[in-house]
Amino acid sequence: MATTTATVSISSGDLQPGNTLSISAGSTLMQAGLTTGLTQVESGVISLASGVESRLGPLATEMSSDAHDIASYLYICNTATDETFYTEFGIHETVIGRLYAGDWMFIPWNASDDSAELELEAENGAQVIEYAWFNNDFILTAAAS
């Protein structure tokens, strides 16, 4: 069985007065509701043109099944170095946050319905992001008949 682990450490000596912040967490990523490890991964590096909405992962129409309501984990890092650059991260047509230059994110992602597609849009300049998506049920585009 494959093993995928994720850990995070968050620290600050001066964010909370009189209290050094030190958060450490870790998890072995499992299939939904099980203690069986994930079996599939998709990873890559993508160049995003400025101001152009891009999709990451499957099309919304390919996710219209509860069969895809699974444990799924997504890592994205914005490799830009200009602090004014950011990539908007959203699901379907809803922007959830801005991934600024040098920032990373790690989230669970449910491909649970046909409006759960992931969308990215670089702002203030073209940007390169790297990503890795771990799960056990990739959705591939059906071949044309």
Which residues of this protein are in contact with another protein, per CB under 8 A? 2-16, 21, 23, 25-30, 32-35, 37-41, 43, 66, 69, 71-73, 75, 77, 83-84, 86, 89-92, 94-100, 102-110, 112-113, 115-116, 132, 134
Distance CA 77, CA 125 (A): 16
**The two three-digit tokens of residue 54, written as one number:** 């891009």
For another protein, the closer CB: 9 or 145: 9
DSSP secondary structure string for all residues of 50-75: BT-EEEESS-GGGG-SGGG-S--EEE
Q: How far is the CB of 145 from another protein (least distance, A)?
A: 30
Q: How far is the CB of 20 from another protein (least distance, A)?
A: 11
Helix (H, G, I), strand (E, B) or coil at 23: strand
For another protein, the closer CB: 23 or 144: 23
For another protein, the closer CB: 25 or 143: 25
Closest CA to 118 of 49, 63, 40: 63
Distance CA 56, CA 77 (A): 13
For another protein, the closer CB: 62 or 145: 62
